[in-house]
Each structure stands twice: as structure tokens, then as C-alpha cells.
Amino acid sequence: MVTPSRSRLACATHELIGVIGDRWSVLVLIELGDHGPTRSADLERAVDGVSQKVLTACLRRLEGRGFVARTVEATVPVSVTYELTDFGHSFFAAFTVLRTWADDHVEQLDPDNAPPAR
């Protein structure tokens, strides 16, 4: 078995953070992972604080990178639904471990509970 080099792993991590490292992408992926296919208006309500413009840009980026699939239904008005792709589900499964860790350490992650700087 070939083990990836440290620089290749760092590059892959850098690429991942470039895709999901903004303020909204992980929240959108969590919403889609937890609730399945979701209309864009429902995503906007579920992801507190995101504007329609920013959500649209985020969804386009995630769709372009293969995390999310967009389905348009020719209804009046047009209905647009987003859902995780197989690639998105594989990310969500891996991310669930990190999410569980964060839930287990939420008090330590709270900036009000941070130890004083040295």
C-alpha cells in the first residue's frame, strides 16, 4: 500500500479547507446531511444569518465541487432542491466524527472558557 506523502496530505487538506472553510459551507452541508433534499428557501431559513445571495454562491461552489446536486422542477413557481451527492455523503460521514468531538468539547471551545494567554 502506498502512503501519501506529508506534502500531498497537506495539499489535500488545504484544498478541502478552500472548499468548506468559509462561514457557511459546513452549515449548509450539515443541514443537507441531517435533513436530506431541501429547497433553497428552506435552507435560507435553516442556516441562520445567511443571505440569499451568499447562500446561492455557497451552493454553486459546493455543486461545482461535487458535494451537492441541484434539481430544478418545472413548476410555477420553479422549485429548486439541493441534496448531498455520494461524494457529499462521504464527506458528511467523515465530518460527523469531528462534529461529535465538537459536541463533546463544546465548553472548552467556548471563547469565554478559554484559558488565559501565556
Give the tens place of pLDDT for each residue, 72-95: 999 888 899 999 999 999 999 999
Region class of 19: left (phi > 0), else alpha (psi between -120 and 50), else beta: alpha
- The torsion of the CA quartet 96, 97, 101, 104, rounded to 10 degrees, works out to 70
pLDDT band at 109 (very low <50, low <70, confident <90, very high): confident
Question: For residue 19, what pLDDT is reported?
Answer: 87
pTM, two decimals, is: 0.82
Q: Which domains does the chain have, with CATH numbers?
A: 22-103 (1.10.10.10)
The answer to whether 47 and 28 are in contact (CB under 8 A) is yes
